[in-house]
Amino acid sequence: MAQATFSPHGETVTTHRLVSGHLIPAVGFGTWKSESPRDSVSTALVQAGYRHVDTAAQYGVQKEVGEGIKEAFHAGIDRKTLFVTSKLWCTELSPERVRPALMNTLGELQLEYLDLYLIHWPFRLRDGASRPPKAGDVLDFDMEGVWKEMEKLVKDNLVRDIGVCNFTLKKLDKLLSFAEIKPSVCQMEMHPGWRNDKMLEACKKNGIHVTAYSPLGSQDQGQDLIHDPMVERVAMKLNKSPGQVLVRWAIQRGTSTIPKSNHHDRIRENIHVFEWEIPEQDFKALCTIQDQKRVLDGEELFVNKTDGPIRSTADVWDHED
Ligand code: NDP
Ligand code: 1BO
């Protein structure tokens, strides 16, 4: 359910109420491949008015992210107004490793609790696994055992909400069959070039909030949505930037979203998406981009074509695409 609240700079900002009752701000700051995380996080929080930061142990930036958050506290931002997400990496996907991994994340971030802790990918990797994985690098994943440990973190007030990333319908159904605490959030790749409507609908049906990652099409090998003619046309018409149109598109689908930038002007620009909207016909036009494909298909991380157990990207996504 969308709620209205106010940012420190007086702009109306949307938040969503999670099944737990906690609020998640609709735009968060992404930190994957962040080049100067301390500075960027501090700018996002103190100058641009973000109150939601997305990070992960695997990004290798948690210490700097924590320093950026500390700067925000020194600038007078209250912990209670912040929403901080981190993620449990694939090598830690066994029950006895869950709590130590979270404690390490809290230590690096210099926080006493996380607002949201997510399973980063639903595949367990051996310590030191290669990319792509060699035979024996992808191990059995005890989803129920890991989830029970995540639930204990909530009960012990170390994390306020728990959830998943990169799940399929099949894996979500399995999780829901034993979860005592339902996942509050499912974080998935979503943008006009990969709408992923099936997962969005399934999550809505189950009361699970969706956070859209890579809303701008990501970087390097990503999709160049910033220069997509349809996105450029809508941006020109609304006198907004292509980045703002893409972030706003995610918001109008009822998701939260977590754009990343190394540039202070873009960091500011990407959250100015609340006091205007994409008209219905333009929103619908953005939903018609034909060439639907994932940027992050999991191939490099999990696929071993000869030895398995994941032999193709279709296997990664349980043949649901
Ligand atoms: P994004 O879709 O946020 O795109 C980032 C790219 O867009 C960068 O190259 C950035 O360049 C550029 N950019 C940012 N703002 C603008 C703008 N206004 N105009 C033009 N270009 C812009 O990619 P990410 O893949 O980083 O996704 C966002 C976040 O989602 C991640 O940082 C991470 O926190 C999370 N994520 C989670 C995953 C998961 O498995 N759960 C997987 C992938 C991402 P520059 O920095 O130079 O501005
Ligand atoms: C390999 C990690 C993808 C970004 O979350």
Q: Residues 82-111: pLDDT tens digits? A: 999 999 999 999 999 999 999 999 999 999
d(CA 220, CA 71): 30
**Which pair of tokens denotes residue 312?**
């193709």
Q: What is the pTM of this model?
A: 0.98
Does ligand 2 come within 6 angstroms of the Cβ of 257? Answer: no
* Neighbouring-strand partners of residue 186: 164, 210
d(CA 85, CA 67): 15
User: CA angle at residue 133 from 132 to 138, to 5 degrees?
Assistant: 145
| Closest by Cα among 99, 2, 8, 91 to 47 | 8
Determine the pLDDT at residue 222.
76
Res. 6 pLDDT band, cuts 50 70 90: low
| pLDDT at residue 66 tops 90 | yes
Question: CB–CB of 45/78 below 8 Å?
Answer: no
Does ligand 2 come within 6 angstroms of the Cβ of 34? Answer: no
ipTM for the complex shown: 0.99
d(CA 211, CA 258): 7
Q: Residues 13-22: pLDDT tens digits? A: 899 999 999 9
Please identify, by atom number, the ligand 1 atom nearest to the C-alpha of residue 262: 46
Give mean pLDDT, residues 155-172: 98
Determine the pLDDT at residue 8.
63
Ligand 1 centre to CA of 248 (Å) is 15
User: Is 120 annotated in some ligand binding site?
Assistant: yes
Question: CB–CB of 27/13 below 8 Å?
Answer: yes
Rg for the chain (alpha carbons), in Å?
Answer: 19
Give mean pLDDT, residues 254-274: 97
Determine the pLDDT at residue 7.
67
Does ligand 1 come within 6 angstroms of the Cβ of 214? Answer: yes
Determine the pLDDT at residue 108.
98
Q: Residues 180-212: pLDDT tens digits? A: 999 999 999 999 999 999 999 999 999 999 999
